[in-house]
Chain A
């Protein structure tokens, strides 16, 4: 059922439909509307869950760990500095294989302080062992929230999962959202039934320490579970499609790539603008396409390599930068293409940081750049403002 609502509200309703037992969260812009809406749902008796109003994001994730290990379905949401504060706890949750689901309302990291959208926060948690997906619009963010529990709790996976959605651009934007019906969600997502949990009738130890004889194997299993998540995510997506009529088609989405000579790749809400740009250029006869990377971890390297076979030039938009090198997605795409027979020219574009808009004309410039530029394999800041760089103060 389509309803016009704020993105945050859509997430709160998706969380409600997923029926978590415990929610623990700490307020931070632009995640706040999500947790406010969830608080109201609980206050009104519409969601039967315990909400722990913790004193920090570090504790939010720690409460989720304790609750999840006790057998509860758990939820939290954060962004930016809050996610960074969770850093060590994220690794811990993944290492203990706890299926916590979290919304990340993507936002830039300080300094300088900036509350607007880019992907530096979640990209910086790339190696935490979490499943990490990016939503293009609010319906996808809502759908992925419910799918996340199925994926995370799957006995083959048992990993935490973060659903990333662009702060403000999605969280604070009103748009039509296809709201999930409770009956169907209950059918799609049964209650969480862990096999191992903190239980006085069957005492087990969680979070033990592992010496060099065992540590590698724990890490391998965490890694293997993430790799295995690729198939499970696709499977869950298909089943979700059968029930709800929306199948997002796996880990990447190819948009008009069939005969494309040039392709731009991106994650998150900018993909919408990118698709519009592709449509415009297609109307003018240009053979261009777009690839939306939906899952960043596990990384769909094989899918990307297949999708880019026969493409002449690829541009990768990163709304993050590994300072001192290049955008993170660019690095991963290049690595995935390394084994390609005919490697396309690949260009990296760092743009859209700290809430700077990337409009259609910028995407069009990128398409033009990868057609003419000789700087394959290189990354550039695409939307630098010279006047801001030269600003002397006063």
Chain B
């Protein structure tokens, strides 16, 4: 995709009479503040800032229904991942079952409430909030409605984006399994498979979200 340049004449700021209306037809780079006229893109195209290379706009080819379907699947997989055992450990004839919450509990019981809270936040609270937010915002929009606080919820979904770390947790599971490999017998539980699915579907949901279009719909009052 060719980078945008701001050679196109912009509304004159000299007189100091830039209207709120005109702001609608403009776009600013979040990383370097350069202003561009709103480009006309077809789905699948990407607009990059010509100065710093940031992605400015990325309209998606699928509709909201596509994101809703992915988010619903994620929600189902999330529930499975947190109800069934993740790993089973067999050592000297004894069996120990572990899930995400078991880890949070164990850390809390040992007096490490800071890490217990951190793990709870990044593996359960943030991912769950993000999945539910997508549904809360998009389902009503799909029916042409908008629920109370949808803009606030969607805003928080964006803020929590870096704090939802399910895919990092998956890698942690892998390392833990290898570390325990020669100490005991490790059996994957049902939740491990649903968790692997969960990170795929969550990534797909994120990739399918058309932030720009969602914000425009939220502003226009659906």
Real binding pair? no
